[in-house]
Amino acid sequence: MTLLPKLQQIPAEIACVADYESFARERMTPSAWAYLAGGAADESTLADNLAAFRRIRLQNRVLEDLRGGHTRLDLCGLALDYPILLAPVAFQRLAHPEGELATALGASAMGAAMVVSTQASVSLEAIAQAAQAPLWFQLYIQPDRDFTQDLVRRAEAAGYRALVVTVDAPVNGLRNREQRSGFALPDGVEAVNLKGMRGLPPSIAQPGSSPLFGSPLLEHAPTWKDLEWLQSITHLPVLVKGVMNPKDASRAVERGVAGILVSNHGGRTLDGLPATLDVLPAIARAVQGRVPLLLDGGIRRGSDVFKALALGASAVMIGRPYVFGLAAAGATGVAHVLHLLRTELEVTMALTGCPTLDAIEASLILGSS
């Protein structure tokens, strides 16, 4: 099929982040779209991530003094201009030939921190050389622990500022949309940072036998002990990504993590999980401000960022929105998505009487105390 060329300038029809979706889809192969846009199973969690923000209503405030307003914050050693980071997304060359390099350029133009995926389609060192904004490295603890340690050393040497350990995907979710599309990585797109890693022996379930339990994959799945091991081998702050249960959040804090990312993997692992926004307040109560909380999943408006902050998050990460911008218009699209969300956040703050992020509180959510 013939794909439309990337946009050379942003048309007037793109007035908000959601407008990028159709432009992106026309510029990606159907299988790449299925991979980057799809979710697990019936995609109910994917849909609920979006719906949760729509269910929330705001309370406005009037005649507040907004002089000196700003959106600055300190987050795990980073001084950020606004509380929106780019979440780790694998294989970004599926969306644009320059992949993560274009994303890094767009993030740098907007001063936004970027979290680079273990499964990036560009080397972590090349991304670090291209970026002019802070970088964190998202890490899957691999069955090959020696290789995992080497990845950590590479991230440290390249100047990454923190490790974000994904803990909610010991196995891939059942992504039926991908299966139906026949998704396979095209030539020239691969997880370049994992080259040379020792793989697990192949495991093919026989009829009548367990397809998963007892397999090498689960036998080598990371545990809390592996998190402690990771913390012991690095000087970087370690955050955990994929926490949806307050008990796990408390346990992570007790083990000295630097931050927690409330995430259901964008609805890509276990379908039927609640929306991240719906579990955020309970996790915030469990954590009690001891470490920063971040949230991803379903954010499409700056007002969504505001809602997450009001319910306990320190900052948010976005995934699909900037990937859609990348697919449509490369680095310019990534930068524009960030600009749109920051602008909408500031408008929401002004209309709710909040000159700074510290003023955003639960009382500005209708029905909250």
User: How far out from the chain centre does Cα 265 lie?
Assistant: 8
For residue 165, list its beta bridge partners.
Answer: 139, 240
- Contact indicator for 251, 224 with CB cutoff of 8 Å: yes
Q: How far apart are CA 322 and CA 334, in angstroms?
A: 5
Residue in 235, 265, 336, 339 annotated catalytic: 265
DSSP 267: G
| 191 SS3 class | coil
The DSSP string of 86-128 is EPP-S-GGGT-TTTHHHHHHHHHHTT--EEE-TT-SS-HHHHH
Looking up tokens 């007002």 gives 303
Q: What is the 3-state secondary structure (H, E, C) of 142-169?
A: CCCHHHHHHHHHHHHHHCCCCEEEECCC
For residue 116, list its beta bridge partners.
Answer: 137
The DSSP string of 9-77 is S--TT--SGGGHHHHHHTTS-HHHHHHHH--STT-HHHHHHHHHHHH--B----S---TT----EEETT
Q: Which residues, at least 6 apart from 214, have a Cβ–Cβ distance to it below 8 Å?
A: none
Beta strands 315-318 and 73-75, pairing class: unpaired
- Please choose, from the candidates 116, 111, 117, 118, the residue with its C-alpha nearest in 3D space to the C-alpha of residue 78: 111
- The reply to whether 220 belongs to the active site is no
- Please choose, from the candidates 26, 70, 92, the residue with its C-alpha nearest in 3D space to the C-alpha of residue 349: 70
Q: How far apart are CA 308 and CA 61, in angstroms?
A: 18
- Contact indicator for 159, 235 with CB cutoff of 8 Å: no
State the catalytic residues.
Answer: 265
